Structure 1
Amino acid sequence: MPATTPTDREVVAARLLAGSIKRSYNPVVDLDWDAPLVEGRYFLPPTVLSLYGTPMWESMSEGQRIELSRQEAANILSVGTWFENILLQALLRDLLHRDPTSLQTRYTLTEMGDECRHMTMFARTIAAMGAKPFQLRPHQAVVANLLSKTFRGTMLWVAALIGEEIFDATQRRVQNDPQLQPMMSRVMRIHVTEEARHIRFAREGVRSRVAQTHPIEKAWVGTVQGIGGLLLQRLFTNPAIYERTGLDVREARRQALANPHFRENQRRGFDGLAAFLQENGLMRAPSRAMWRRSGFL
């Protein structure tokens, strides 16, 4: 694929700005927060839950399965809030060094506005689900704040894609599932619509940086970005999910990590991003090994 030049990025930014004007959402008014939950509906489809198809899943009642979906959904929304907070910090630092009059800067600020609304939407969704958010532990908060300082150059845009594409791919597959709570379907549709623009901008950022950056930076990013897979695996199987559902935490997490259905969902979510990273020379052997170890390859 041809390298993207700075001028190309301005053209892309202009298109994304136009798209944002035509189709953006305000979750405060675009979601009916007073609508009651539908009895017997899931908060995530059963097939994407970490325990689906395991012996523990077969022993669970329908009520326990729905509760597991509530807790896994609350966990994913919490993780999404953490990531978007980290991304916003990194984008603000990056903007200090950018031309404030450029279209790229204008779109970055537009994206940041989207992400602030998404964080509000995630928080209100967790509350409307009747769940509690999952909080960072003190040592995790330290790591999160340090991560935002390391997201620079190529790594900034690769990290953005890791945080956005895997969730986006899954949401696209399940947003219209008839077993979902209507509120969850609506949240996913809003998020998918706006994340499509964010992903396009981040991909163009990667292509632009790869075309211009020093080979050492490219090699470094390609070598360490696989840490994202290890972090996501841990976050997706947060022991607190199973504790809140009333399950044997150690056994539930063991079965989840060994669950072929869960690993297949991870791989399907990562397929598109894995191909993109490979295409741009950013999938080196150490990262490939980490993604494979964490079940995404």
Structure 2
Amino acid sequence: MTSTHTGSAAAPTRRDDVASRLLRSSETLSFDPAQEVDWETPLDTNFHGTSPEWSTLYGTSYWDEMTPEQQRELTRQEAASVASTGIWFEMILQQMVLRDFYAKDPTDPAFQWALTEIADECRHSIMFARGAAKLRAPAYRPSRLVVELGRAFKTLAFGEAAYAAILVAEEVLDVMQRDWMRDERVVPFVRTVNNIHVVEESRHMKFAREETRTRLAGAGPVRRQIQALVVAGAAYFIVTSMVSRKVYANAGLDPDRAVREAKRNEHHKSLLRSSCAGLMEFLNSAGLLTKAATWFYKRANLI
């Protein structure tokens, strides 16, 4: 991206205004997870890790057969898996943003906001890591293939593809976590973690939308088709990696049966689609919801 900021004599652009507002917001409403989250109180296993309705097995016959203790353990393992996937993608995000602003004008509000966003993401990743450990979960990681695809994506993606992919990942998490942070059935420290992430990520999503629009302003139809496909592919692998199949074994379930039932779970698919309605509207308005891209979103149950 070529910065539109040319120095103090230049009139502020819309992009400058957005970045400046986000910087002011971060000064007045940011959190230190080390202080805000209750890390000391032992885990109370009478609580869920997510809203039960967001479990990949909720609404299936397997869920009905599980004891309340198994259901709670499953949602705790699923919450830890989502957190671990969040760490993986936030590390990709940080590298893309750093590369994008390398050697750019440091007096540009967007440059300063980019560094602020990276600092937020560092804190979020540590917060998610500590949260997963407190939920007594192992380190869940995407498959080796997805990890290598992520490595290629963070190296090669540029412009609107990078920021639109950031937006996709954060929008899906945002809707889930808004439900979890309000749900008194969810363990209190997880609710605090979700609240912090929702508040601070709302600024990140606003910037990602602005950057996506800015980068696409002069894009031709071929570039839009290619970038739409790149974003959709990234979205597919992010969303389908959120819950590792290993969570089922760690919750004491038969992983083969659990995976089969989760794949057929229309309730969970419906939740994902409803959570992405606003996102798909934005991608469509930006020209990034092409026929080819729609195939990937449907495969990931996002549309």
**TM bracket, shorter-chain basis:** over 0.9
* TM-score normalised by L of structure 1: 0.94
In the TM superposition, what is the alpha-carbon distance from 1:233 to its structure 2 partner? 4.4
Find the counterpart in structure 1 of residue 234 from structure 2.
Answer: 228
Q: Given the alignment, which residue of 265, 269, 277 partners 1:259?
A: 265
Structure 1 window deviating more from structure 2 (61-70 vs 213-222): it is: 213-222
Cross-structure match for 2:31: 25
Correspondence 1:288 to 2:294: yes
* CA distances 1:199-230 after superposition (whole Å, capped 9, x unpaired): 00000001111113343322211233221343
Aligned equivalent of 2:211: 205
Match runs of 1:102-181 below 5 Å: 102-181=108-187
Letter in 1 for 2:120: D
Q: Does 1:40 align with 2:71?
A: no
Residues matched between the structures, number: 293
- Deviation of 1:287 (Å): 0.9
Quote the offset at 1:169 in angstroms: 1.5
146-155 or 11-20: which moved more? 146-155
Letter in 1 for 2:137: A
Distance across 2 between alignment mates of 1:296 and 1:137: 21
1:137-187 deviations in whole A, cap 9, x for unaligned?
544432222111122111011111011111011211331111110101101
Whichever residue aligns with residue 109 of structure 2, its letter is L
Deviation at 1:39, TM superposition (A): 3.9
Shift in alpha-carbon separation, 1:263–1:146, aligned structure 2, 3 A: same
Q: CA deviation at 1:136?
A: 4.5
Which has the higher mean CA deviation after the structures are superposed, 87-96 or 47-56?
A: 87-96
CA distance, structure 2, for counterparts of residue 280 and residue 190 of structure 1: 29
Q: CA offset at residue 244 of structure 1?
A: 1.4
Structure 2, unmatched stretches of 5+, are 6-12
Q: Tell me if 1:49 matches 2:51.
A: no
Name structure 1 gaps, 5 residues minimum.
none
Supply the AA of the counterpart residue of 2:38.
D
How far apart are the structure 2 equivalents of 1:138 and 1:178?
Answer: 36
Using the alignment, how far apart are the partners of 2:142 and 2:266 within structure 1?
28
**Equivalent-residue separation in structure 1 for 2:98 and 2:280 (angstroms):** 27
- Cα distance in structure 2, aligned partners of 1:13 and 1:107: 6
Residues in 2 aligned to 1:188 and 1:154: alpha-carbon distance in whole angstroms: 27
Shift of 1:237: 4.2
Change (3 A) 1:144 1:30: same
8 Å CA contact 2:52–2:58 kept in 1: the answer is yes
1:244 aligns with 2:250: yes
Give the whole-Å Cα distance in 1 for the aligned partners of 2:244 and 2:225. Answer: 31
Question: For residue 8 of structure 2, what is the aligned residue in structure 1?
Answer: none
User: What pairs with 1:183-202 in structure 2 (closer than 5 Å)?
Assistant: 183-202=189-208
Query: How far apart are residue 271 of structure 1 and its match?
Result: 1.2
Q: Aligned to 2:190, what secondary structure does the other structure show?
A: helix
RMSD value over aligned CA atoms? 1.6
The alpha-carbon distance between structure 1 residues 182 and 83, as it changes in their structure 2 partners (threshold 3 A), is: same
Identity of aligned residues (%): 35
Match of 1:274 among 271, 280, 288: 280
Does the Cα contact within 8 Å between 1:224 and 1:286 map onto a contact in 2?
A: no
Q: Which of these residues, 22, 42, 56, is aligned with residue 16 of structure 1?
A: 22
TM-score, structure 2 length as denominator? 0.92
Moved more, 268-277 or 128-137: 128-137
Q: Aligned AA for 1:38? A: D
Contact preservation (8 Å) 2:141, 2:244:
no
